[in-house]
């Protein structure tokens, strides 16, 4: 199952990708919202792990566009953020169509469990 890991921080992206690959997932990476949208359309991953803060557009807008596209609307989305952590931020993320919203810091086993659950749901 292919997971698209989207984060503008190379370090954070690497850490999540390594964690996911060690758990047996196939992972593609993107560092911008624009790249995330084009990769999601081309690869049709089962899940997008989507940082909320991106350099060109926020993850909320990326999620809205994924969910509005008939070819991509079935892709599961988990928002992840260290900066947007208020109840309103989480509500906005869920309202954008995200299936889950994770606040950093998180436990690695929690992330893997949520990714497994969402990827299984999509399968």
Which domains does the chain show, CATH number per domain? 2-122 (3.40.50.2300)
Residue 3 is predicted with a pLDDT of 98
> In this model, does residue 123 exceed pLDDT 70?
no
> In this model, does residue 121 exceed pLDDT 90?
no
Question: For residue range 2-54, what is the model confidence (pLDDT) as tens digits?
Answer: 999 999 999 999 999 999 999 999 999 999 999 999 999 999 999 999 999 99
Q: How many residues does the chain have?
A: 123
Alpha carbon distances (Å) from 53 to 21, 31, 72, 101, 107: 23, 10, 21, 13, 20
First and final C-alpha spacing in the chain: 8
Answer whether 0.75 is exceeded by the pTM.
Answer: yes
Average pLDDT of the segment spanning 114-123: 86
> How much is the CA Rg of the chain, to the nearest whole Å?
13
Question: For residue range 89-109, what is the model confidence (pLDDT) as tens digits?
Answer: 999 999 999 999 999 999 999
């Amino acid at each position: 199952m292919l997971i698209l890991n989207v984060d503008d921080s190379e370090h954070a992206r690497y850490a999540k990708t390594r964690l996911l690959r060690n758990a047996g997932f196939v992972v593609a990476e993107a560092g911008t919202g624009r790249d995330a949208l084009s990769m999601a359309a081309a690869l049709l991953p089962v899940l997008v792990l989507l940082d909320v803060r991106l350099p060109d557009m926020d993850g909320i807008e990326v999620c809205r566009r994924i969910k509005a596209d008939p070819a991509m609307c079935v892709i599961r989305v988990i928002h992840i953020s260290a900066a947007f952590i208020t109840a309103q931020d989480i509500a906005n993320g869920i309202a954008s169509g995200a299936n889950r919203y994770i606040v950093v810091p998180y436990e690695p086993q929690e992330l893997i469990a949520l990714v497994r659950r969402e990827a299984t749901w999509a399968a």
